[in-house]
Structure 1
Amino acid sequence: MTARIYQRPKSAMQSGRARTDEWVLEFEQSEARRADPLMGWTGSGDTQAQVQLRFESKDAAKAYAEKHGIAARVHATPPKTLKLQAYADNFR
């Protein structure tokens, strides 16, 4: 059972930074997805892929994974870059 630990990114559909400071431990899929023959929906029998655990810090998430014997990979948060430009630059 493997998992990945990452910091939740800001949604493109919102201007605020709500819930971007929390860290998420998410289990990777251990079984391939397949199409349901009757409805055509995609699914799998792996219920661990539905689990997302939220933590206050990266260290808390790593400690939880170590305590429960979960092999976890930490994905680094990319640096935030701001592109500052004036409104007048749109018309150059």
Structure 2
Amino acid sequence: MRARIFRPAKTAMQSGKGKTHYWVLEYEPQSRKTIEPLMGYTSSSDPLAQVRMKFDTKEDAIAYAERNNIEYTVREPKEPRRRAVSYSDNFRHDRKVPWTH
């Protein structure tokens, strides 16, 4: 059993950071997913594929994994680089692309 510990990224449908302040422990898949030919459902024989545990901090998730002898890898989140922009920058005289009406 091997697990991943990570902080989820925000979805493409949201602009804020909702539901990204917790850490998740999720098991890596042990077997491949198969497609049922009649209905097209995706299934797996791996029962741990459904397990997804949430923790308040990374340390809590690591402590849980170590306490239960679970191998784990930690993926640190990538913080976005935000540029400070203001509305008045649209009308600066030294812009590379001049503003027109």
TM-score, normalized by length of structure 1?
A: 0.86
Q: Which structure 2 residue ranges, 5 or more long, are not aligned?
A: 92-96
- Match for residue 35 of structure 2? 35
| CA-CA distance at 1:91 after TM superposition | 7.5
Q: Which range moved further: 58-67 or 8-17?
A: 8-17
| CA-CA distance at 1:8 after TM superposition | 1.5
Q: Which structure 1 residue ranges, 5 or more long, are not aligned?
A: none
Aligned partners of 1:86 and 1:53: how far apart in 2? 40
| CA-CA distance at 1:85 after TM superposition | 3.5
Aligned partners of 1:49 and 1:68: how far apart in 2? 18
Aligned partners of 2:54 and 2:63: how far apart in 1? 13
Residue 54 of structure 2 aligns to a residue whose secondary structure is: strand
Q: After the TM superposition, which residues 67-86 of structure 1 pair with which residues of structure 2 at under 5 Å, given as runs? A: 67-86=67-86
| Percent of pairs with identical residues | 39
RMSD: 2.0
| CA-CA distance at 1:86 after TM superposition | 4.3
